[in-house]
């Protein structure tokens, strides 16, 4: 059976940003990055500090053939424009897994890490895949943040079990 992503020619030569947050589901993001790359997309991965505790940048570099970016890169020589360049070149920003913390950052416009800075700079569609336990997802604060993001045009898939 043909893999579903192989049948999506729209991904060929598209620039995708994959934001990976600190969730046990972060390991699944490596498979997603691999499949998107195999489908022809150019995938740049942005890992939060917490995400690096679950999976390393090297994992993503290995499956995408491209550098994976972390908060440590904010202090490099190109840091003041890096997030803008990444954001403006992207055709789609996917944040998978999206934690409650990152959803709150985005809802409030907090720009305190590379992923949040870049999310504020993008001019492309944003797709969130929330990943957290049911209690956290159903909490009124999380639901309020989600409503705010939906009102701003962010697309949401899931959460799944």
In this predicted model, what pLDDT tens digit does every residue of 90-134 receive, in sequence order?
899 999 999 999 999 999 999 999 999 999 999 999 999 999 989
Rg (the chain; Cα; Å): 15
Phi-psi region of 9 (alpha: psi -120 to 50; beta: other; left: phi over 0): alpha
Q: Assign 43 to helix, strand or coil.
A: strand
Is the preceding omega at residue 145 within 30 degrees of 0, hence cis? no
For domain 35-97+105-131, the CATH class is: alpha beta
- For 146, other C-beta atoms within 10 Å of its C-beta total 20
Q: Please name the helix (run of DSSP H) or strand (run of DSSP E) that holds residue 114, with its range, or none.
A: helix 114-121
pTM for the complete prediction? 0.89
């Amino acid at each position: 059976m043909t893999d579903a992503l192989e049948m999506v020619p729209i991904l060929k030569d598209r620039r995708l940003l994959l934001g990976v947050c600190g969730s046990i589901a972060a390991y699944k993001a490596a498979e997603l990055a691999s499949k998107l790359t195999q489908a022809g997309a150019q995938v740049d991965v942005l890992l939060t500090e917490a995400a690096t505790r679950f999976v390393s940048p090297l994992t993503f570099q290995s499956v995408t053939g491209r550098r994976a970016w972390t908060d440590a890169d904010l202090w490099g020589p190109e840091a003041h424009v890096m997030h803008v360049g990444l954001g403006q070149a992207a055709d789609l920003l996917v944040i998978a897994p999206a934690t409650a913390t990152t959803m709150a950052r985005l809802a409030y416009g907090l720009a305190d890490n590379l992923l949040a800075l870049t999310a504020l700079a993008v001019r492309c569609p944003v797709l969130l895949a929330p990943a957290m336990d049911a209690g956290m997802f159903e909490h009124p604060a999380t639901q309020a943040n989600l409503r705010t993001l939906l009102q701003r045009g962010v697309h949401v898939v899931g959460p799944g079990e």
